[in-house]
Structure 1
């Protein structure tokens, strides 16, 4: 029994893409993109995300405050927020397009060319979603590394470090890229299968036995 059929690959890639999309959506709103702990006050932990900043103390607990102005955001945070929003929109559209292009979905049944185009469109959109997610987290990681090793800043001043949300964003971006790639693989497998079926059908027609038509005569 063949497991890696086009139908199986389509559903597996859609499942992986949907998991990456959900992880990207959750990661976008987590405040754990950056973390900072001061040596002067070890009881305080600072966390920063794309939408708000939080501080944790043993006396108060976690207290968060949203960024007041969109234009006052740092360039890396602003760019990462835009990239993540683009990732969510394109990922959602890609998953919807790929779903309607699946084999066995009754909507558009019998229109193989339309389904093939929907799978390709879904793969492209999911690819864009994964690339924008990776671009957002990689940009922020690069800026953090540059600032962390900046010699102009005093050593007493603590620097931001990677938070758990950044690793989650890298993981979700890779899931989206893998899901989009396997959608293209499923399309190629479907094309190869259709080509084999057409060759088999043409071969059967060539080897069809030749029958002769005889005229029946009656002798009166």
Structure 2
């Protein structure tokens, strides 16, 4: 329990959140959200992300093409792209705010109320970032499951399956949620410590007054 100090919890939380933010940023632009392999041509593998569609062949290698227009995007892909961009922006602002709220950072030194508010703001923004990362990947996964088991499609027609980037997005979203949540734990630990210090200070102040009172009473008796 000695290692579980407020400063340690703050820094570990921020480190976890930053790792989730970096992973989210990389995952957003990876073309590996969906993967598909046709039984008719096993030499071809198709990949699709939020920004590109790619095909891999042994002869040519990997070739990618960006989506030509926003109007041609499926609604799920468009919504997911927007949510991932919101996640990156809110996560960056949250990590920045939480960094300036850390103990030991000289910016705002001596202004504990300001640092506490920065930690709370950072925690809220990081949680928003985590939720807006988990939402699109879960939505895409749900739609893919519906399409995979759609009985109206012919059995020979290939279906999209989960790509590596989807698991990466789930992982990064969980990291952001954990990091943001533990920032609130650090704030609660700081509030508890400040409350204990106020109690000790009040007790010492009362004890000091009682001691002075007894000394004055003793002096009066001697006189």
C-alpha deviation, 1:62, in angstroms = 0.5
Structure 1 runs not aligned, ≥5 long: 216-220
Partner of 1:116: 116
Matches within 5 A, 1:19-98: 19-98=19-98
Please state whether the residue corresponding to 2:46 is helix, strand or coil: strand
TM-score, scaled relative to structure 2: 0.94
Give 4+ residue runs of structure 1 displaced > 2 Å after superposition: 211-215
Deviation at 1:205, TM superposition (A): 1.0
* Cα displacement (A) at 1:212: 2.5
1:142-182: CA deviation from partner (whole Å, max 9, x where unpaired): 00000011111111100000000000000000000000000
- Asked if residue 168 in structure 1 is aligned to residue 153 in structure 2, the reply is no
Tell me the distance in 2 between the aligned counterparts of 1:65 and 1:204: 72
1:111-130 Cα deviation digits (max 9, x unpaired): 00000000000000000000
Which of 209, 216, 223 lines up with 1:212 in the alignment? Answer: 216
DSSP 3-state at the match of 1:71: helix
Is 2:6 aligned against 1:2? no
- Paired with 1:71 and 1:14, the residues of 2 have a C-alpha distance of 38
Partner of 2:101: 101
Structure 2 Cα separation of the partners of residues 72 and 121 of structure 1: 37
Task: Give per-residue Cα distances to partners, 1:58-114, cap 9 Å, x unaligned.
Answer: 111110000000121011111111110000000000000000000111011010000
